[in-house]
Structure 1
Amino acid sequence: MKVLVTGGAGFIGRWVVKQLLDDGHDVWVLDNLANGRHSNIAEFMHHTGFREFVTGDIKDKKVLRDVFSNKYDICYHLAASINVQDSIDDPGTTFANDVEGTFNVLEECRRNNAKMVFMSTCMVYDRAASPEGIDEAWRTKPASPYSGSKIAGENMVLSYFHTYGLPVVVIRPFNTYGPFQKSSGEGGVISIFIKKKLRGETLNIYGDGTQTRDLLYVTDCARFVAQAGYSDRVDGEIVNAGLGRDISVNELARLICEEPDRIKHIPHIHPQSEIPKLLCNYGKAKNLLGWEPAVSLEEGIKRTAEWISVNDMK
């Protein structure tokens, strides 16, 4: 198939591009490099299935019109503002990217009858309240402008399914981590903790550390994202993906760094947007897509640490 990945030079986008290429598709990437990095996809540039990298913004309708002249079968829409604190400090930018930008991409999908796979987030949910975890029917809670913008984007995407019959699917991966994720302040907690451990620095935990996360290794996430585009069984649906196991940030820090004196608690910078318990129920993905995670948390941390030690210790 002919496939476009918006945000394809980002962390998850990079792995989705790899999965699509491995599956034999022709892939185009659109990214404004605000979050993504050209180096993330440099190894694919000479792949026979990699067609073009376009530096451009989803808020630019002319750029989108030109890019969509390739007549894609599927658009994996991953381009977004993704940082919670940034959305609190500057909600307008997050709204423009995650709502207005999504609308622009949707319109091009509608004009070209291209299926859209919309990357949402587990951050739209309220806290888990049972051992079964959060399924797709669980209540949402827009605890930050980021999650509010994602919920708005989801609703717009699903409206195109109901109004125009456009094939779409909303996907909500839980906390994804792995190689190529940034280990700076806006990166993922695992990457940040690993890099601090390797540098001999203190691992800082926001709040009391009892908040839990369901951590999904990035190759499992990319496989889920790709499969959501391939199957019409999930058209018009919202689908979760996660490990199905949560761990507190305190336990995670101890798992990564076995020296308690290097773990410190600091005041939370945005406690109002914290979700106390995130635990994924991925039964719908298993039933409709035959998907389930293959990489354990311990194995994923090992692979990530090996990659960081070689590639990200500047």
Structure 2
Amino acid sequence: MNILVTGGSGFIGRWVVKRLLEDDNRVWVLDDMSNGHLENLDDLRANPNLNVTIGDIKDTALLSKLFSNNFDICIHLAASIIVQDSIDYPRKTFENDVVGTFNVLEEAKKTNTKFVFMSTCMVYDTASVGSAISELHPTKAASPYAGAKLAGENMVQSYYYAYGLPTVIVRPFNTYGPYQKSTGEGGVVSIFIQKDLNGDVLNIYGNGTQTRDLMYVEDCAEFVVQAAYSDAGNGNILNAGLGEDITINDLAALVCKDAGRIKHVKHIHPQSEIPKLVCDYSKAKRVLGWEPKTSLKEGIEVFRQWMKDTTNQ
């Protein structure tokens, strides 16, 4: 198939592109490199089925030209993704995540290209203790990032119902693994491992009792690709995660064995914090046959080794 991946040189995008190429698809990547890096695709560039365009989803002329390639699927990952930045600079997040999504949707509509929208678990309201979050759980726009993603979801659903465009909305929970940045708030596992390897202090925002459901990136990429391939997912919202949560305190202790290098610091934007995140992925298992394969302990060890190897290159 001909498949467009926006944001394809980013952390998750790079793994999605790799997985698509393994199935002999022809893959086009569109990325403005604000979050991604061309080097993330270095070990894939020799594949003749990969085409990379550096450009912006707000450039409608460029999108129109790209969509002349008659894409079967568009996997839309491109977005401003940092919650704290969205609070500080909401216009940028709105223009990239809402207007940009609309632009890509409009092109997909013209060619009836299946549209896979990357949303986020950050759209959910907090869960009560002991309960996992299903797709029916209430949403809450606690940050402009979450608000923009919910707006994007609503636009995607409207194109499914109004125009019959095949769409699927995916809400992966926190994802970690090789090629993730070790800066910014999105990569708590990456940041902690990098700090530990450097012998630095691991800073925890707030009291550290907030929990996260952490999914290994190759499991996430497999989920996204299966959602793209499957007609059964069309019109649906689908969660993916490990199905288990861990407190940030316990995560730090798992990564760093020296308790003296673990500190608590004041939260920068406590109003956007979600106290508990744990995924109910039973719908994705039922609809797609997907489930995660990598335990947190196993994933952290693989990721730590990758970070060691890349640091020593």
TM-score (norm 2): 0.98
1:31-70 paired onto structure 2 within 5 Å: 31-50=31-50, 52-70=51-69
Q: Unpaired runs of 5+ in structure 2?
A: none
Query: Which residue in 1 is equivalent to 2:262?
Result: 263
Q: Is the 8 A contact 1:177 1:190 kept in 2?
A: yes
CA distance in 2, matches of 1:223, 1:66: 29
Query: Which residue in 1 is equivalent to 2:108?
Result: 109
1:53-90 deviations in whole A, cap 9, x for unaligned? 00000001001011111010000000000000110110
1:278-314 deviations in whole A, cap 9, x for unaligned? 0000000000000000000000000110111121479
1:211-290 paired onto structure 2 within 5 Å: 211-290=210-289
Q: Cα RMSD (Å) of the superposition?
A: 1.0
Report % sequence identity.
61
Q: Is the 8 A contact 2:167 2:234 kept in 1?
A: yes
SS at match of 1:236: coil
1:96 partnered with 2:95? yes
Q: Is the 8 A contact 1:240 1:281 kept in 2?
A: yes
1:129 is displaced (CA, Å) by 1.7
1:145 partnered with 2:144? yes
1:44 is displaced (CA, Å) by 1.1
1:25 partnered with 2:20? no
Q: Is the 8 A contact 2:3 2:72 kept in 1?
A: yes
AA aligned to 1:22 is E
Q: Is the 8 A contact 2:82 2:184 kept in 1?
A: no
SS at match of 1:305: helix
Query: Which residue in 1 is equivalent to 2:202?
Result: 203
CA distance in 2, matches of 1:186, 1:17: 24
1:99-122 deviations in whole A, cap 9, x for unaligned? 000000000000011000000000
Query: Which residue in 1 is equivalent to 2:4?
Result: 4
Q: Is the 8 A contact 1:94 1:149 kept in 2?
A: yes
Q: Is the 8 A contact 2:123 2:149 kept in 1?
A: yes
Q: Is the 8 A contact 1:204 1:263 kept in 2?
A: yes
Aligned positions, number:
313
AA aligned to 2:192 is F
SS at match of 1:126: coil
1:187 is displaced (CA, Å) by 4.4
CA distance in 1, matches of 2:154, 2:311: 38
More deviation in 122-131 or 21-30? 122-131
CA distance in 2, matches of 1:163, 1:313: 53
SS at match of 1:17: helix
Q: Is the 8 A contact 1:81 1:97 kept in 2?
A: yes
AA aligned to 2:42 is A
Q: Is the 8 A contact 1:177 1:191 kept in 2?
A: yes
AA aligned to 2:14 is R
Relative to structure 1, is the Cα distance of residues 129 and 186 closer, same or farther in structure 2, using a 3 angstrom cutoff? closer
CA distance in 1, matches of 2:159, 2:275: 33
SS at match of 2:203: strand
CA distance in 2, matches of 1:291, 1:179: 21
1:186 is displaced (CA, Å) by 4.3
Query: Which residue in 2 is equivalent to 1:156?
Result: 155
AA aligned to 1:227 is Q
SS at match of 2:35: coil
Relative to structure 1, is the Cα distance of residues 194 and 265 closer, same or farther in structure 2, using a 3 angstrom cutoff? same
SS at match of 1:35: coil
SS at match of 1:8: coil
Runs of 4 or more, structure 1, over 2 Å off, are: none
1:198-222 deviations in whole A, cap 9, x for unaligned? 0000000000000000000000000
Q: Unpaired runs of 5+ in structure 1?
A: none
Q: Is the 8 A contact 1:195 1:313 kept in 2?
A: no
More deviation in 20-29 or 68-77? 20-29
SS at match of 2:115: strand
1:48 is displaced (CA, Å) by 3.2
1:181 partnered with 2:180? yes
